[in-house]
């Protein structure tokens, strides 16, 4: 981490209310904690629902039964008075198969009149109030849920149900949920560890690649898991980016090497000529001649610079703004027409074979220059009496322009290097040129989503320029 990055990191931390404990500064740990929390929350929601749908249901059923009883008994009271009510309660108790019903009718002094509770329990004071209390019944202590009603004439009625079964169920459920909770906690921990491990291993791969590259090993790439998941997609994107960076770096390195080697020669020559003239020229014409030669040398150097800048500019892709629809046939006609005269002078037959209608998409000026460079090369290396053919055809993706000559061609060994900046084959050593022509053509081809292929034409040399006419190329 550079000093700059470290500072930025600290600045960011300053905005946190509390400095996170060390473990939570790891994204992996944070993700796994989140995972565990999510799992726990899900389990809790599930438990609540389970509780509500079992214990809760029983509660609601008990309450409904008590209410129904109360309604029934109040009707009896209305029609039969106290004796009717006592009779009904006794009837009910006798018919209660489950032995869970609880009734107690008490007189104004709280003495038992009817029912199955020995005495009025303590603390039951409110009319219409719900109570849950332990009771003593038939020698057994159990749990009851009761409701109190005050009757006219100072009588009090207690209606309830024995809820021992529900209490047992609750205990059972609590125990089960406790175990389930423990299980969930265990699973969450294991899951969190797995998530963290997965996260960690993927991030580590990317981080390892990045630091290897930072350390100067530019061949390193992020390994892919082969699953094609999001991490793989990220890794692939990173790798594509690294490839692009590597290509650009190669380009820069190549250019600086080339400048060092290839521009030094003409600069040295110009300098030598000037110095020689300054020291040895005796007459004014001699001096003039030397100066003029030096100017020509310098012009060559600036032409090379211009070509280099242009290639760099094309490779940077900044000329895409000049893209538009163009008529390739017209463009080729123009180039061939321009070079026809030169070819004729060399007794070289320059011919164009292209469909009348050949639309293209791109930068007219650049394609013009690229084709001109290919034709220029071909005419330059064509032996007298031979033919240079320019053939263009439409392809499914765009257009293909082939320039073929019948010259000496390029040896196989040199062909792959022919598009390198400043590369000049042995055959080209004594011809004028900067060795940048094919580099420019290749840069133009790549800008247009196409390619430049160099082939052996048996005999001769064929350059195939493929251009894409897709707008997003």
Partner 1 sequence: MRILVVEDDKDVAGFVVRGLKEVGFVVDHADNGRDGLFLAASESYDAIILDRMLPGGIDGLRVLETIRGQKNSVPVLILSALGEVDDRVKGLKAGGDDYLTKPFAFAELLARVEALARRGKGESPVTKLVVDDLELDLLSRQVKRAGQKIDLQPREFRLLEFLMRHDGQVVTRTMLLEGVWDYHFDPQTNVIDVHVSRLRQKVDKPFPTPLIHTVRNAGYMLRAEPA
Q: Which residues bind partner 1 (CB under 8 A)?
A: 292, 295, 298-299, 302-303, 305-306, 309-310, 313, 318-319, 321-322, 334, 337-339, 341-342, 345, 365, 368-369, 372-373, 376, 379-380, 432-434, 437
15: Cα within 13 Å, side-chain hemisphere? 4
Residue 420: CA atoms inside 13 Å, Cβ hemisphere, count? 18
Q: Answer for the pair 377, 463: CB distance below 8 angstroms, yes or no.
A: yes
State which residue, 302 or 430, has the beta carbon closest to partner 1: 302
238's tokens: 């990173």
The rounded distance, in Å, linking the Cα atoms of 24 and 28 is 8
Nearer to partner 1, 119 or 306 (CB): 306
Structure tokens at 311: 């290639």
To the nearest whole angstrom, how small is the minimum distance from the Cβ of residue 428 to partner 1? 11
Q: How far is the CB of 307 from partner 1 (least distance, A)?
A: 9
CB closer to partner 1, 86 vs 352: 352
Q: Least separation, in Å, of the C-beta of 312 and partner 1?
A: 10
CA distance 337 to 405: 17
Q: State in angstroms the smallest separation of the CB of 345 from partner 1.
A: 6
Q: How many residues does the chain have?
A: 473
Nearer to partner 1, 379 or 403 (CB): 379
Q: With respect to partner 1, which residue has the nearer C-beta, 169 or 259? A: 259
d(CA 60, CA 80): 30
Smaller CB separation from partner 1, 292 or 471 = 292
3 state SS of 350: strand
Angle, CA of 189, 191 and 195, to the nearest 5°: 115
Smallest separation (angstroms) from partner 1 to the CB of 338: 5
Phi, psi of 347, rounded to the nearest 5 degrees:
55, 40
Nearer to partner 1, 101 or 372 (CB): 372
354 within 8 A of 465, measured Cβ to Cβ: no
Looking at beta carbons only, is 233 or 318 nearer to partner 1?
A: 318
Pick the closer one to partner 1 by CB: 94 or 341: 341
Question: Cβ 440 to partner 1, closest distance in Å?
Answer: 9
Strands 130-137 and 398-405: unpaired
> SS3 string of 69-129?
HHHHHHHHHHHHHHHHHHHHHHHHHHHCCCCCEEEEEECCCCCEEEECCCCCCCCCCCCCC
E strand residue ranges, 236-345: 324-327
Q: How far is the CB of 219 from partner 1 (least distance, A)?
A: 33
| In the complex, minimum distance from the CB of residue 279 to partner 1, in angstroms, rounded to a whole number | 24
Write the DSSP assignment of 174-225 as a string of letters: HHHHHHHHHHHHHHHHHHHHHHHHHHHHHHHHHHHHHHHHHTT-TT--PPP-
CB of 191 to partner 1, least distance (A): 57
């Amino acid at each position: 981490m550079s000093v700059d990055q470290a500072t930025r990191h600290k600045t960011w931390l300053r905005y946190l209310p509390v400095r996170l404990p060390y473990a939570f500064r790891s994204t992996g740990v944070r993700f796994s904690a989140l995972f565990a929390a999510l799992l726990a929350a899900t389990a809790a929601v599930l438990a609540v629902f389970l509780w509500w749908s079992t214990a809760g249901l029983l509660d609601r059923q008990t309450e409904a039964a008590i209410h129904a009883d109360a309604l029934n008994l109040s009707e009896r009271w209305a029609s039969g008075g106290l004796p009717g009510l006592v009779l009904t309660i006794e009837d009910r108790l006798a018919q209660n198969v489950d032995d869970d019903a609880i009734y107690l009718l008490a007189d104004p002094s709280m003495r038992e009149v009817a029912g199955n509770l020995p005495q009025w329990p303590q603390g039951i004071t409110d009319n219409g109030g719900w109570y849950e209390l332990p009771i003593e019944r038939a020698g057994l202590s159990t749990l009851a849920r009761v409701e109190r009603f005050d009757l006219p004439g100072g009588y009090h009625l207690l209606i309830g149900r024995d809820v021992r079964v529900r209490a047992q169920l609750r205990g059972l459920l609590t125990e089960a949920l406790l175990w389930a909770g423990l299980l969930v906690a265990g699973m969450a921990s294991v899951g969190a560890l797995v998530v963290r491990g997965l996260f960690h291993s993927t991030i580590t791969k990317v981080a390892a690649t990045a630091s290897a590259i930072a350390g100067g090993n530019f061949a390193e790439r992020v390994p892919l898991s082969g699953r094609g998941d999001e991490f793989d997609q990220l890794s692939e994107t990173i790798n594509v980016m690294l490839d692009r960076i590597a290509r650009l770096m190669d380009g820069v390195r190549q250019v600086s090497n080339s400048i060092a080697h290839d521009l030094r020669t003409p600069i040295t020559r110009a300098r030598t000529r000037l110095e020689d003239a300054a020291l040895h020229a005796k007459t004014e014409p001699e001096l003039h001649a030397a100066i003029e030669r030096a100017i020509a040398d310098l012009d060559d150097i600036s032409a090379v610079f211009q070509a280099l800048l242009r290639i760099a500019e094309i490779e940077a892709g900044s000329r895409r703004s000049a893209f538009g629809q163009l008529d390739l046939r017209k463009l080729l006609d123009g180039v061939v027409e321009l070079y026809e005269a030169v070819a004729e002078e060399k007794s070289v037959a320059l011919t164009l074979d292209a469909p009348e209608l050949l639309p293209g998409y791109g930068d007219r000026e650049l394609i013009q220059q690229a084709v001109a460079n290919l034709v220029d090369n071909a005419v330059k290396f064509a032996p007298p009496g031979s033919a240079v053919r320019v053939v263009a055809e439409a392809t499914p993706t765009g257009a293909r322009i082939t320039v073929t000559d019948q010259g000496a061609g390029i040896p196989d060994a040199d062909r792959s290097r022919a598009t390198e900046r400043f590369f000049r084959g042995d055959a080209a050593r004594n011809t004028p040129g900067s060795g940048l022509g094919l580099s420019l053509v290749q840069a133009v081809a790549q800008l247009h989503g196409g390619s430049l292929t160099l082939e052996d034409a048996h005999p001769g040399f064929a350059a195939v320029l493929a251009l894409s006419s897709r707008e997003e190329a």
